[in-house]
Structure 1
């Protein structure tokens, strides 16, 4: 009888240990990066290196984005914001701009149902009214179809510019008759395209460039930046994991001092 009681006590102790360790496993499944923003650069260089037309590089970039959405969801990242077409990109050669518009339209048509099945919530950030009526409708329909999905949010910044966003916000603030003494950071944020979204924790730029390029200027004020020489069409899971590992080594202070346990200030 004594042996049986000892055996039952041993089993209970093991169950207690397993129960106590469960929260740690749950915590490890959560990514420290809630919102990841990406400047997808290098499509043209990727194509040039292969003696292909630039549009072939943009098509390869769409494939890279498909990979990234899956990888980010697997890593429990809640939201992606990707820089697909800037307000300055209208200045590129007409053939390239028309090709990008066509590619955007074709990608919506070909990928929408799968994105919806996979639980991706789509959102457009930028000036929608500059796009063609059929493209505007396609964007609105895709946003409406996926609005209740919860696996991962994908914010496509198309015809987006950080300065244009601020101009649009200020215009609306004035139109709403806001008084100068009511203008706060919180009020301005509530008028941005990203009004109900968290600021990005990290901004990745591919292709080795070290520019902000008018991307999420207000929202990324305290984001961690990460640059990689990898051209966007070649960006994959290993590149993402390296970026996330770099993020985990950093200490976000948001302009404040970081006081260590020894009392030293960093």
Structure 2
């Protein structure tokens, strides 16, 4: 019997051995694999038939690739989330998939626990991104971000000629009313750390970390960890303050 809280998962990959491997995810508690598709066309048809909660989507498949299938699934069946599971993590694969509506992105060297965690994350409204993908997003933002303006000559009242103005107090540098600890947690999120890893780094409980994350999400208006990474970079919070 399937428990009422089981997540219904559909696997889509053109390689039989990969599909068979993903079917084994059904052995994990809380996951029911409802079917598998050999290409994007079949994936869309099976989503219409089974209405899964999550599709594990390969990108390079015949007839209809994973990006197009993701776009069609998200447009026609918004209750179904998509986690990309692919060999490729280059920009030409990653960003079109995310723009098409994928909420998770893993490479095929991910273990069963990491895949299960990504499935749980997207079902809860968060993003299921591997640490490597989070880092690539951060690097892309770094490349797109405008350079910070240079301070005007002589800035800072009472400064001696040629001196560097003193930095603002930490509390004044933090946006959205973040506390120093919330900013520290945000910086660690931007480095790809999980809640458990953050708790170990800061010598606090995972429950405390979750509280800080809920608070900083509410203050900054971000919805998930991917948006938090982008926010952290935009505001220069990419490590411990």
TM-score by length of structure 1 reads: 0.30
TM-score by length of structure 2 reads: 0.32
Structure 1 or 2, whichever has the larger Rg, is 1
